[in-house]
Amino acid sequence: MTCEMFLQNVGTYRRFGYNGKNGDLTTDTWSHIGIAISSNSSVVNTIEGNTSGRYNGRTYQGIVTRKSRPRSDIDGLCTGN
């Protein structure tokens, strides 16, 4: 069972018509999970682990970093409500 299937079964997974809120878990189109820190109808800002980022001219791999994802890249959101 995938994460998405489990969350759909317990009734907390939202795909369409829900913009999300701080603390929601996000699943994206390549099966990565993040934590939403803000969102609107076009962008979801997340904190994600095992990702890459660029700081002070250097690129790092496998770090925890803030990402700004287009809403079209977000497959669904899991809310605690």
**Bigger pLDDT: 40 vs 19:** 40
Residue 16: pLDDT above 70?
no
What local confidence, expressed as pLDDT, does residue 81 receive? 63
pLDDT one-digit tens code per residue, 26-55: 888 877 889 999 988 889 999 998 888 777
Considering its fold, how many domains does the chain have in total?
1
Conformation bin of residue 66: beta by default, left when phi > 0, alpha when psi is -120 to 50: beta
Residue 53 sits in which domain range?
A: 3-78
Query: Is beta strand 25-28 parallel, antiparallel or unpaired with respect to 13-14?
Result: unpaired
What local confidence, expressed as pLDDT, does residue 71 receive? 87
